[in-house]
Structure 1
Amino acid sequence: CLGFFDSVNDPAVANVLFDTAKQWLQSKGMEAMDGPINFGDRDKWWGLMVEGFDKEPMYGMSFNPSYYEALFEGYGFQNFYNQFYYAMNVEDPLPEKFAERFAKFNAKPGYEAKHVKIAHLDKYAGDFATVYNAAWAQHGEAKEITKEQVMKLFNKMKPIMDERTVWFAYYKEEPIAMFINIPDLNQYFKHFNGKLGWMQKLHLVWMKFRGVNKRLTGLAFGVVPKYQALGVDSYLIYACGQFVQGKGWYEQYEMGWAGDWNPKMVNIYKSLGGKQSRRMVTYRFIFDNLHRFERHPEMDYK
């Protein structure tokens, strides 16, 4: 993979970087390179922004000069997959079919949707791991995650987590879906001039207490496979929306990216009323034409 790419608008300069990465990867036995990715999981700083330059970036989102697209494609990189972001106003009415599904599940014994309690994050760490591993890891789209790893993540998120926007759905007390949203950290960090000392941390706590951050971003969403296609996704989203709307806590909501290889997730975003706000591209470059280029396969929901 190729990451941390930074170049002036000059193909000759960019090609030196691409060539160097290619040669190093070939020396390690690789036959292709994907990029730009900034190493780690796909939830942060992944892909090249090609649409959406007129909007402030959310925390964890790639934000690069627009000419990078021409540099990558001029070298021979091809579009491996698109990453779509969707946005909406928090107070936008939710679709009627979401309300109908919410009412249906709310009337069924055993189903429950609720937001987390910060005091009991240990329990929710286990619930997160259960849903994540069933919804994503088993499809080969991510590595399995342990409760301990999730707890480390939750502890890092704790200072900025809003328990009112982190939701789980249960059936007979077993976790079956999750809808994880957090305030956009860039709405805090943009005031700190690149610093994060104790003064900035106190300022962050003050801003959180005052509720000055009006932007919410999607972090994770998933439904255990055997509960997919039943409407549990709509049930959970509507439960969260019904709770958050009308309170003035947030004004804008931007969902985490969905790959074009995951049409079910893209359709959920669209059916919710989201409008495409940005597009990233993850590129692939095949070395020496050793293999035929193929785009990322569509997700198998079986």
Structure 2
Amino acid sequence: MKLIRLDERSRRDRLRFVKSQWRFYQGDPHWVPPLIFDRMKLLDVRRNPFYQHSKIALFLVEDRTGPLGRIAAIVNDNHNRTHNDRVGFFGFYESIHSQEVTSALLDAAAEWLQLHGMTHIRGPVNPSMNDECGLLIEGFDRPPVVLMTYNPPYYPALLEGWGLQKTMDLYAYLLDQESYRSEKLDRLLGIVRQRTGVQIRAMDFRNRTQFRRDVEILRDLYNTAWEKNWGFVKMTDAEFDFLAADLKQIADPNLVLIAEVGDRPVGFALALPDINQCLIHNRSGRLLPGLWHLMTKRKQITMVRIIVLGLLPEFRRTGIDAVLYAEIGERAKARGALWGEASWILETNDPMNHALQNTMHGVRYKTYRLYERTIE
């Protein structure tokens, strides 16, 4: 086998890196092939504004039969400035069931990160905590929902075999439309609405001016509400606009909600239709067949993912988060959704974990893990 450093500036090399993923999921019924177009855009160091403050290196291990594994090493300067540390990241990891291959990949990533002054390696993140992140360690019996990761069950042992250890777990909760509402919850929601005067409105995607205003509101809320969260890094204006343009293509405006008290935005929630229920049929990952599956199967989607829900610090523990969850649930139900996934939730976020389990009757059904190791 041989280790290859690919050129992240080369479209040909990025495509080689992206397409290698298919080797590792042949015959896996739960894997959802990504759109090659989307993966190429995510890794494009010229177009993706993430790389205005970050660097990435792509590595591939292969033999004469084809790819055996891949990994990306990432230096996120904004992360290190925010947290005053020297943590490098790895992501986009795939491997055959071989400790030798995984160790070669992680050795290469660690060496590159050391050359850039990093003292720790953490991951997987693809390529940041604001994107897909975490290694699936529990819940292999279902496909992933939109923008969540999936991997073979043997991956954790391979990463741990190189010396990586758990640094944080991320939870995903399954919410059932038939059980998440109760008389107790409805009474609570009424009290919260009366006491806080909160009003919930949806984004308007058709009015370009209002859409731009709302994107700015969401960006400010996101960067403020999550500021103290473990591992969080504020998104730049360019990054948020880049993400908003992508999400607008798949989002339902009625599931992008802003909570206001008086005329002040105090929180928001974003739920996405689980387009993975369509894309799982697009085994090639090519764009045009993927669009065809989205158009012809979109009405069959029965799941939404509550991807973001947050409040300004002074409005936490007011119950407005429960109002947002309930609004998302009712609006999703009206569009045929039977279930919702709330993900991901930090294992240390006790108030949210408690609310999802005890108030919303959610079931924690998947766990994702972030690993870390010193590399000095």
TM over 0.5: yes
Does structure 2 retain, via aligned residues, the 8 Å contact 1:121–1:154? no
Which amino acid is the alignment partner of residue 120 of structure 2?
Answer: A
Question: Is structure 2 residue 126 aligned with structure 1 residue 38?
Answer: yes
Partner-residue secondary structure (3-state), 1:101: helix
CA distance in 2: counterparts of 1:243 and 1:4, whole angstroms: 34
Partner-residue secondary structure (3-state), 1:12: helix
TM-score, length-normalised on structure 2? 0.69
Picking from 148, 158, 166, the partner of 1:61 is 148
Query: What corresponds to 2:248 in structure 1?
Result: 158
Report the more deviating stretch, 54-63 or 133-142: 133-142
CA distance in 2: counterparts of 1:140 and 1:12, whole angstroms: 32
Does structure 2 retain, via aligned residues, the 8 Å contact 1:2–1:34? yes
Query: What corresponds to 2:177 in structure 1?
Result: 90
CA distance in 2: counterparts of 1:283 and 1:214, whole angstroms: 32
CA distance in 1: counterparts of 2:246 and 2:262, whole angstroms: 30
Does structure 2 retain, via aligned residues, the 8 Å contact 1:48–1:64? yes
Does structure 1 retain, via aligned residues, the 8 Å contact 2:252–2:273? yes
CA distance in 1: counterparts of 2:274 and 2:149, whole angstroms: 14
CA distance in 2: counterparts of 1:259 and 1:109, whole angstroms: 27
Q: Residues 138 and 78 of structure 1: is their aligned pair in 2 closer, same or farther, counting only changes over 3 Å?
A: closer
Report the more deviating stretch, 4-13 or 70-79: 4-13
Report the more deviating stretch, 173-182 or 195-204: 195-204
CA distance in 1: counterparts of 2:290 and 2:117, whole angstroms: 45
Query: What corresponds to 1:70 in structure 2?
Result: 157
Picking from 353, 359, 369, the partner of 1:266 is 353
Larger strand proportion of the pair = 2
Query: What corresponds to 2:107 in structure 1?
Result: 19
Provide structure 2 residue ranges, at least 5 long, that are not aligned to the other structure: 1-88
Q: RMSD in angstroms over aligned alpha carbons?
A: 2.3
CA distance in 2: counterparts of 1:85 and 1:167, whole angstroms: 21
Q: How many residue pairs align between the two structures? A: 284
Query: What corresponds to 2:371 in structure 1?
Result: 283
Q: Residues 107 and 163 of structure 1: is their aligned pair in 2 closer, same or farther, counting only changes over 3 Å?
A: same
Does structure 2 retain, via aligned residues, the 8 Å contact 1:177–1:222? yes
Query: What corresponds to 2:6 in structure 1?
Result: none
TM-score, length-normalised on structure 1? 0.84
Query: What corresponds to 2:261 in structure 1?
Result: 171
Does structure 1 retain, via aligned residues, the 8 Å contact 2:90–2:121? yes
Query: What corresponds to 1:185 in structure 2?
Result: 275
Q: Deviations over 1:31-62 (max 9, x none)?
A: 1111222213x243311111111011112222
Which amino acid is the alignment partner of residue 124 of structure 1?
Answer: D
Partner-residue secondary structure (3-state), 2:267: strand
CA distance in 2: counterparts of 1:97 and 1:147, whole angstroms: 41
CA distance in 1: counterparts of 2:233 and 2:375, whole angstroms: 26
